[in-house]
Structure 1
């Protein structure tokens, strides 16, 4: 079962790398400026595009209020919440529960880039999103959900 989970995550990561048909990516990236900061990327990020880019995350997570947890917790309303505590009934790894911090722009950006670098020992089996604007779009989507 674990190998199926790993294959599903690998397929999801590969599909995310295709940018989800984002025809505005390069123009938005140029608008953010050369070597853009996370703040500059967030100014051009698009929550609707982030929703599409988060489609690969839906292999393990739900995003709708009231939806059940899956292999990963429901991520609705996670933005601004303490790490490893958003869904009290979910079995977070001890590493994530004990990590401290909250899901803000900087933490989510680092997490979406490489979860294991942010929280060594996390159970999250996801290789990360290399493109910084793709990460910013997903963060904008998570921000848009509120509590």
Structure 2
């Protein structure tokens, strides 16, 4: 009984603990550095805002927006036989790279003017990196770009 109570109390304290603090400069760091520090679990939490319109589970299908399973490396404006992509997004061309997803998640209407995407974007660079890492781990699993090393970082 006492062990059960201690375990329950420990779980409650852990659940209420503050989130891990991140370096505030990391939010504006180059994408490769942000992705190296990104956390897919945090990305899943941020992605929960997107889950009303998008799925990331293999075979889950489209909702109000296309399914995003395996989106990293997939052609922009394609990938679903059932979702009607806008001409604006189809005209972008190319594939969803880490960099393109970062730009899209920053401001979809700037990335593809004329898109129907009503999402305003994620201003925090680490939120974007967390979501990109989460998306990559759901079907794509592409290697992350190497973060800049101290020897090749630009100087002031």
TM-score (norm 2): 0.73
CA shift digits 1:70-99 (9 cap, x unpaired): 110111111111101121321000111121
CA RMSD of aligned residues (A): 1.9
**Unmatched runs of 5 consecutive residues or more in structure 2:** 1-16, 141-156
- Hey, what's the Cα distance between the residues in 2 that align with 1:129 and 1:35? 13
Equivalent in the alignment of 2:128: 135
Match of 1:44 in 2: 37
Q: What's the counterpart of residue 74 of structure 1?
A: 67
Contact 1:85 1:97 in 2 (8 A): yes
Larger Rg: 2
1:35 to partner: Cα distance: 4.3
After superposition, the C-alpha distances for 1:87-141 in whole angstroms (9 at most, x for unaligned) are 1321000111121021111100010010010000111111000100000000000
Q: In the TM superposition, what whole-angstrom CA distance separates every residue of 1:35-83 from its partner, at most 9, and x where no partner exists?
A: 4111110110011111111000001111111112111011111111110
Higher helix share: 1
TM-score of the pair, normalised by structure 1: 0.78
Counterparts of 1:7-22 in structure 2 under 5 Å? none
The residue number in structure 1 matching 2:138 is: 145
Segments of structure 1 that go 5 or more residues without pairing to the other structure are 1-20
1:58 has 2:54 as partner: no
Structure 1 outlier segments of 4+, above 6 Å: none
Provide the C-alpha distance between the structure 1 equivalents of 2:109 and 2:28, rounded to a whole number of angstroms. 24
